[in-house]
Amino acid sequence: MAKANKKQALGRGLSALLKDSSNLNSASDRNAGEIVGNIVEIELGHIQVNPYQPRTYFNEEALRELASSIRELGVIQPITVRKVGNTFQLVSGERRFRASKLVGKSTIPAYIRIANDQEMLEMALVENIQRKNLDPIEVALSYQRLIEEIQLTQEELSTRVGKKRSTVTNYLRLLKLDPILQTGMRDGFISMGHGRALINIENSDGQLAIYERILREQLSVRQTEKLVKILKEGSSSMSSSKKKALPSYIKDSLSEINSFLGQQVDITINSRGKGKISIPFHSKEDFERIKNLLK
């Protein structure tokens, strides 16, 4: 009973304690011991969104659904904030914060904790990564920010986010793709599997040529991997053969032709500039496929 009375007394005095405190960056700050770790109702107008929030898009339909739930049941899980001067900053719970404003709430339950700027960024990024509806590029960008701004190694990062180091590496490699491909992945036109296959093509023109073919022919990840392998093997054989002497107007177009046909074509040219293109095929079906492409 005494414990319950203490909580009630603390609750009645929290407002005064909050007003009498400034930033809460460590346990030694004024009133930190009495305030931190408590859940209190805070006016929505006194809360700022997290300036380190990596997420910029919030699904409007999902937000309206959450708002409807809050209208009926209230905010079941408190948001988390830190005290900064006379205001509060969100650590986590921006969707609940936005949804509460949508239904006209004036206050919201909030858990108060200590966090400095670096911890704010790290918590926001890690919380963002743990969401299930993020696209691969959003995850990769969050990993990159943790490495660059929090100065984590890939090994430390894998521990923080609970992922294998190889998984972290695979996401980060996606950022080497041409920006158009990254956008295509964010918009759902290609998957992370497609992106991982395309990383093996070093130049942007080659990546874009295959990307266009993926969209045009709706290639699976396995088909894309096979196509990339064909082009890589052809490129390797080209580098060790006399085809290095081909004029630039042919070399510049060769990757695009190979990508379009799905085969490694053979081009020869004589001293007078006349040449021949040979297109291999492996079956009747393969021949019909190539014939249809050339119509």
Separation of alpha carbons 83 and 20, rounded Å: 11
> Is there a contact between 206 and 235 (Cβ–Cβ < 8 Å)?
no
3-state secondary structure of 153: coil
- Sign of the Cα torsion 39, 45, 48, 49 reads positive
Q: Which residues are catalytic?
A: 94
Residue labelled with tokens 């790290």: 122
User: Among candidates 230, 220, 243, 221, which has minimal Cα distance to 281?
Assistant: 230
Show contacts of 7-11: CB within 8 Å, 24+ apart: 10/34, 10/38, 11/38, 11/40
Q: Residues with Cβ < 8 Å from 249, sequence gap 6 or more?
A: none
